[in-house]
């Protein structure tokens, strides 16, 4: 007898990578009964312990730090930083697990594979998906009014006939400056990583019989040791290519993003297992070369971990009402219906990956600044109740070359989850939510997602927008900036207030409403200094860019005092804060005409820096 269960939710997310996880958590936090269907035992996808790609984003690996992604992905990285200075991926898995499990409106189905999906008869609406949880032999039929394809491969969309593309469009089709003259089926490949440790004494290595041998000439354009020099003159910007692309792999203890294969068939998805076997063989062949093929400074190193689950860069792209292009990216397009942004370069990899021995492994077209991604790229153009988030959103091949980066995928997922909650509120499908995109964007800003000008906080429910701020001391910025609608430093503008030291009794910030307000929540955004990354990574070079512990600039302890006619009517004490966005719920509405914040300590910085205060 087969085990079977039928489950119904408001919103079902398929795929628990960073995009799917952020979509599911965001929807749940906004009151939507959500299921996250995930085929693996740990969350995070390419960022998990199974694959271990570190989370990069619009800051371009510290080139433009003001644009680092905030929101849920940054919240999770700060949670990890607070307990995991040793860069242990098992702890990172635990952080993501705890984050999902804490959400009362979210149920996660681990080790659960979707194998089929059905449309409602005579419609373009998904009625159900069929799954099996391999560990329990339980078969499920899941139903919901809304679904999100966060599988990476666009698998749910494929099962139900969603329009999609693969490969490269031509220049005539898209007008993109770096598109090929003719369309082709080239795609960026799959990768596994490896990690080695210094034992302090010589260690021999004997490769397995299946290892595929490589020599120094074949690897001359692929950095694989600290002292190796690469001729990057064929790159559009050689200096920037070396800074961005060679930093992580300029070592023998970690690598190699360029260990990349895309298979020989017309479709990279059915080739996945063969590609995995070949990657495994080349990984051990590369390590054999590093250990036994010349002087690489690896005599005392031994392998600690080799990935067995390849991370994917590219397969299907589900088509939405708008297809984001390279031209949109390079033109820094600001869409009226923007719900996310990106800033990574147009990072197109060699068409045959590792086997293109005469090419640099990537062809990066760099730019300064960011672009926005429209809401129309996050839902299917022909399946009425299907969202998508992650690398399968509606882009051209060259658009994907930038949006596929993990930080961008994560904030796009947060936008989709929040949009699903609003669809439930208004009783509409994804396309029907279009008139409410300004509301969606305001919620995302409230939840610490950044948007470039002209978008600022104009949330009518935020009492702080019309409040007057004063502070006990000022060394930079101004208390007046705390409600200017921008919650981070941009260029030379602090967009916030910085105290002049921290007095013995704490630094005070007073927010006066000018009338009685019924307040149930405050939201304070602190400086976390984006100039220092907080992501988990195996790269020693990237680890060295970080500081121990949580960002010292973050306020650690502070009090919130609600006042009415000068008398205290409510109080909350926040201790051991390690988040950039600190949200305090009072559990009830409290009538007050002002709120006093007393900032008692930071996590090490000598001054208090606040970017935004909100009250609801």
| Claim to verify: residue 369 and residue 298 sit in the same structural domain | no
| Claim to verify: residue 302 and residue 321 sit in the same structural domain | no
- For the chain, how many residues are written? 616
Q: Could you tell me if residue 42 is inside a domain?
A: yes
Of 146, 127, 148, 136, nearest to 37 by C-alpha is: 148
Paired tokens of 100: 């999902």
| Claim to verify: residue 218 and residue 105 sit in the same structural domain | no
> 273 by DSSP, 3-state: which?
helix
CATH number at residue 542: 2.60.120.260
| Claim to verify: residue 482 and residue 565 sit in the same structural domain | yes
What pLDDT does residue 521 have? 98
What DSSP assignment string belongs to 171-182?
HHHH--TTS-SS
Q: Could you tell me if residue 451 is inside a domain?
A: no
pLDDT band at 170 (very low <50, low <70, confident <90, very high): very high
What pLDDT does residue 247 have? 84
| Claim to verify: residue 436 and residue 509 sit in the same structural domain | no
- Write the pLDDT tens digit of every residue in 532-587: 999 999 999 999 999 999 999 999 999 999 999 999 999 999 999 999 999 999 99
| Claim to verify: residue 223 and residue 290 sit in the same structural domain | yes
| Claim to verify: residue 159 and residue 11 sit in the same structural domain | yes
579 in the Ramachandran plot: left (φ > 0), alpha (ψ -120 to 50) or beta? beta
- The residue among 279, 306, 333 that closes a domain is 306
Share in percent of the chain as helix, strand, coil (round to 5): 25, 30, 50
- Write the pLDDT tens digit of every residue in 86-119: 999 999 999 999 999 999 999 999 999 999 999 9
| Claim to verify: residue 249 and residue 374 sit in the same structural domain | no
Distance of alpha carbon 513 from alpha carbon 35, whole angstroms: 41
| Claim to verify: residue 335 and residue 241 sit in the same structural domain | no
Of 494, 483, 552, nearest to 524 by C-alpha is: 483
Number of domains into which the chain is organized: 3
- The residue among 418, 446, 474 that closes a domain is 446
Distance of alpha carbon 279 from alpha carbon 262, whole angstroms: 10
pLDDT band at 245 (very low <50, low <70, confident <90, very high): confident
Q: How many CA atoms lie within 13 A of 489 on its CB side?
A: 19
Range of the domain at 204: 190-306
Write out the H or E segment, with its range, that includes residue 117: strand 112-119
pLDDT at 604 over 80: yes
What pLDDT does residue 342 have? 98
- Pairing of β 555-564 and β 581-602: antiparallel
Paired tokens of 348: 């197109």
What pLDDT does residue 246 have? 82
Q: Could you tell me if residue 260 is inside a domain?
A: yes
| Claim to verify: residue 154 and residue 275 sit in the same structural domain | no
Question: Quick one: how many helices (H) and strands (E) in the chain?
Answer: 12, 28
For residue 194, what are the β-bridge partners? 255, 306
- The residue among 417, 446, 475 that closes a domain is 446
For residue 106, what are the β-bridge partners? 34
pLDDT band at 2 (very low <50, low <70, confident <90, very high): confident
DSSP 606: S
What pLDDT does residue 38 have? 98
- Write the pLDDT tens digit of every residue in 254-291: 999 999 999 999 999 999 999 999 999 999 999 999 99
Order of strands across the sheet with 106-109? 106-109, 34-37, 11-14, 146-149, 386-388
pLDDT band at 249 (very low <50, low <70, confident <90, very high): confident
137, burial (CB in 10 Å: exposed 0-12, middle 13-18, buried 19+): exposed
| Claim to verify: residue 157 and residue 224 sit in the same structural domain | no
- Write the pLDDT tens digit of every residue in 478-492: 999 999 999 999 999
Q: How many CA atoms lie within 13 A of 450 on its CB side?
A: 30
pLDDT at 1 over 80: no
522, burial (CB in 10 Å: exposed 0-12, middle 13-18, buried 19+): buried
């Amino acid at each position: 007898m087969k085990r079977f269960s039928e489950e119904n939710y408001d919103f079902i997310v398929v795929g628990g990578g960073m995009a799917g996880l952020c979509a599911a958590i965001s929807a749940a936090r906004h009151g939507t009964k959500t299921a996250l269907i995930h085929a693996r035992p740990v969350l995070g996808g390419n960022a998990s312990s199974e694959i271990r790609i570190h989370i990069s984003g619009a800051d371009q690996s510290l080139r433009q730090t003001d644009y680092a992604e905030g929101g849920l992905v940054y919240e999770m990285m700060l949670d990890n930083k607070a307990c995991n200075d040793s860069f242990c991926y098992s702890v990172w898995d635990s952080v993501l697990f705890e984050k999902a499990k804490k959400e009362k409106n979210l149920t996660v189905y681990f080790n659960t594979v979707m194998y089929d999906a059905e449309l409602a008869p005579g419609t373009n609406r998904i009625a159900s998906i069929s799954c099996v949880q391999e560990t329990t032999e339980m078969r499920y039929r899941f139903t919901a009014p809304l679904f999100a394809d966060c599988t990476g491969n666009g698998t749910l969309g494929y099962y139900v006939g969603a329009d999609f593309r693969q490969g490269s469009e031509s220049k005539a089709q898209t007008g993109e400056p770096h598109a090929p003259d003719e369309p082709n089926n080239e795609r960026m490949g799959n990768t596994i990583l490896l990690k080695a440790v210094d034992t302090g004494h010589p260690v021999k290595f004997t490769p397995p019989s299946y290892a595929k041998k490589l020599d120094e000439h074949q690897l001359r354009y692929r950095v694989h040791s600290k002292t190796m020099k690469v001729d990057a003159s064929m790159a559009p910007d050689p200096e920037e290519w070396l800074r961005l692309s060679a930093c992580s792999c300029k070592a023998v203890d970690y690598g190699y993003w360029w260990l990349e294969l895309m298979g020989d068939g017309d479709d990279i998805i059915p080739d996945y297992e063969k590609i995995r076997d070949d990657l495994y063989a080349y990984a051990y062949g590369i390590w054999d070369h590093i250990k036994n093929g010349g002087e690489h400074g690896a005599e005392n190193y031994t392998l600690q971990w080799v990935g067995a689950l390849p991370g994917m860069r590219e397969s299907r792209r589900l088509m939405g009402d708008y297809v984001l292009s390279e031209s949109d990216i390079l033109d820094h397009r600001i869409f009226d219906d923007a719900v996310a942004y990106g800033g990574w370069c147009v990072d197109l990899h060699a068409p045959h990956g590792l086997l293109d021995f005469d090419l640099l492994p990537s062809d990066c077209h760099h730019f300064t600044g960011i672009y926005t991604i429209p809401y129309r790229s996050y839902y299917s153009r022909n399946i009425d109740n299907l969202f998508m988030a992650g690398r399968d959103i509606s882009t051209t091949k060259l658009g994907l070359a930038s949006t596929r980066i993990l930080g961008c995928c994560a904030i796009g997922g947060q936008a989709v989850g929040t949009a699903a909650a609003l669809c439930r509120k208004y009783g509409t499908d994804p396309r029907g939510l279009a008139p409410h995109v300004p509301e969606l964007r305001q919620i995302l800003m409230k939840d610490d997602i950044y948007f470039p000008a002209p978008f600022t906080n104009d949330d009518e429910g935020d009492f702080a927008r019309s409040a007057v701020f004063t502070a006990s001391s000022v060394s930079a910025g101004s208390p007046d900036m705390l409600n200017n609608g921008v919650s981070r430093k941009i260029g030379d503008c602090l967009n916030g207030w910085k105290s002049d030291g921290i007095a013995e009794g704490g630094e005070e910030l007073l927010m006066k409403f000018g009338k009685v307000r019924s307040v149930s929540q405050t939201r304070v955004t602190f400086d976390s200094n984006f100039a220092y990354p907080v992501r988990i990574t195996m790269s020693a070079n990237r680890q060295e860019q970080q500081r121990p512990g949580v960002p010292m600039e973050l306020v650690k302890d502070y009090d919130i005092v609600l006042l009415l006619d000068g008398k205290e009517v409510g109080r909350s004490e926040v201790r051991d804060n390690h988040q950039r966005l600190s949200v305090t719920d009072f559990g009830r509405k409290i009538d007050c005409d002002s709120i006093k914040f007393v900032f008692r300590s930071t996590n090490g910085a000598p001054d208090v820096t606040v970017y935004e205060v909100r009250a609801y």
